[in-house]
């Protein structure tokens, strides 16, 4: 049997996390089919057909899929589900919204947010904000699985030539209507995939003070993150939140500034390769996960940090 992977895209480009999900899918079974549901999304289907791990692309185009709605996607997936042993997608807000709706209609108990594929039916997943890992075996006939993207490398995007097959649209939903999406555009690397992340917490004291973070992030070509406390306080928008209920990031370098290190924040960043903590409270829990801790007032330390960075001849990008 084969794996059906649901692609996330904007009708022009595939979203990066779909590539991570493809890697995980091909560990489950080599016969990976990718379903692209959209409107004039032929380019997306074409680019996915070039991913070497993909064996087939099913492209469903209809104006009703101009914007993603779980209700609409689900009807298409259910129609195709009989041919597959697994239905998978990325465990971000796209996949988290979609997969349970599919699973319930198939009467399947979903396995969410896997971090490891152990076999076709057995997976590892974090529970309690990553403070424990459960190994679970799904006994359902079809397995519905969402994949934590940062736990798998993205699949390569060239070299493949999968067949593209057109699929049929399903009936359009009348109970839900898309109104608008306010995307926050930025020239920075995306938080979920950036090599370096600089995050600010409640210690920043104001949104205005985040310019100190921005200056360092500019220098390091980093994404900007934030703790839930900083987002709740209105210092920065929600799309920057790192944590159990925000984004999970695994950069090479994570710099936590003025973040105490609540359990739910640590859940989103403690797998980072190198962690730096700058905090004036030497007892802050963030120091327990930091490779390099600097006990200092961030308002002194950040300008100095930038100064020192400026002295370096080269900085990795």
Partner 1 sequence: MKILVAVKRVIDYNVQIRVKEDNSGVVTDNVKMSTNPPDDNAIEEAVKIKEAGKAKEVVAVSVGEEKAQETVRKALAVGADRGILVKVDGVIEPLAVSKILKKIVEKEKPDLVFMGKQAIDDDCNQTGQMLAALLNWPQATFASKIEVKEKSLEVTREVDEGLETIEVNVPAIVTCDLRLNEPRYASLPNIMKAKKKPIEQISAGDLGVDVKSRIEQIKVEEPPKRKAGIKVASVEELVQKLKNEAKVI
| Residues 208-227 interacting with partner 1 (rule: CB under 8 A) | 220
In the list 82, 159, 183, 283, the residue contacting partner 1 (rule: CB under 8 A) is 183
Under the binding rule (CB under 8 A), the answer on residue 94 touching partner 1 is yes
Beta strands 2-6 and 54-61, pairing class: unpaired
Contact flag: residue 12 with partner 1 (CB under 8 A): no
d(CA 84, CA 106): 12
What are the residues whose beta carbons fall under 8 Å from the beta carbon of 32, sequence distance 6 or more?
2, 3, 5, 22, 25, 26, 53, 54, 55
Question: Which of the residues 107 through 136 are near partner 1 (CB under 8 A)?
Answer: 107-113, 122, 125-136
- Give CA angle at 50 (46, 51), nearest 5°: 125
Question: Tokens at residue 101, please?
Answer: 């709706």
Residue 314's alpha-carbon distances to 88, 186, 310, in angstroms, are: 42, 24, 9
Answer for which of 158, 159, 184, 283 binds partner 1 (CB under 8 A) is: 184
Which of 1, 153, 237, 297 is close enough to bind partner 1 by CB under 8 A?
Answer: 237
Region from 22-30, 38-46, 51-59, 96-104 binding partner 1, contact rule CB under 8 A: 96-104
CB 261 within 8 A of CB 203: no
Minimum distance from CB of 45 to partner 1 (Å)? 21
Cα(139)–Cα(136) distance, rounded to whole angstroms? 10
Q: Is 1 in the site for partner 1 (CB under 8 A)?
A: no
Judged by CB under 8 A, the stretch of 34-42, 106-114, 159-167, 202-210 that binds partner 1 is 106-114
Give the x/- contact pattern for partner 1 in 240-259, rule: CB under 8 A.
----xx-x----xx------
DSSP-derived letter for residue 154 is P
Residues between 30 and 89 with contacts to partner 1, criterion CB under 8 A: 69-71, 74
The answer to the question of residue 188 lying near partner 1 (CB under 8 A) is no
């Amino acid at each position: 049997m084969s794996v059906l992977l649901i692609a996330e895209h904007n009708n022009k480009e595939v979203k990066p996390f779909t590539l991570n999900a493809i890697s995980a899918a091909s560990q489950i079974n080599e016969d990976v089919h990718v379903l692209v549901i959209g409107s004039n999304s032929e380019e997306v289907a074409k680019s996915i057909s070039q991913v070497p791990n993909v064996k087939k692309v099913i492209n469903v185009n209809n104006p009703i899929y101009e914007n993603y709605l779980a209700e609409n996607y689900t009807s298409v997936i259910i129609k195709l589900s009989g041919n597959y042993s697994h239905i998978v997608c990325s465990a971000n807000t796209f996949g988290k919204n979609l997969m349970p709706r599919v699973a319930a209609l198939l009467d399947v108990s979903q396995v969410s947010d896997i971090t490891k594929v152990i076999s076709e039916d057995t997976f590892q997943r974090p529970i309690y904000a990553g403070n424990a890992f459960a190994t679970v075996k799904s006994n359902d006939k079809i397995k519905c699985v969402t994949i934590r993207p940062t736990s798998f490398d993205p699949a390569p995007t060239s070299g493949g030539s999968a067949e593209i097959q057109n699929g049929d649209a399903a009936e359009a939903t009348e109970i839900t209507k898309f109104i608008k999406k306010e995307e926050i555009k930025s020239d920075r690397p995306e938080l979920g995939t950036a090599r370096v992340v600089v995050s600010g917490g409640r210690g920043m004291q104001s949104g205005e003070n985040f310019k100190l973070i921005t200056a360092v992030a500019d220098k390091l070509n980093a994404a900007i993150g934030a703790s839930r406390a900083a987002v709740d306080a209105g210092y920065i928008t929600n799309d920057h939140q790192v944590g159990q209920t925000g984004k999970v990031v695994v950069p090479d370098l994570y710099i936590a500034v003025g973040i105490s290190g609540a359990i739910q924040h640590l859940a989103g960043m403690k797998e980072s390769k190198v962690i730096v903590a700058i905090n004036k409270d030497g007892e802050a829990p963030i120091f327990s996960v930091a490779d390099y801790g600097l006990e200092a007032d961030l308002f002194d330390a950040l300008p100095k940090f930038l100064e020192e960075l400026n002295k370096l001849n080269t900085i990795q990008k």
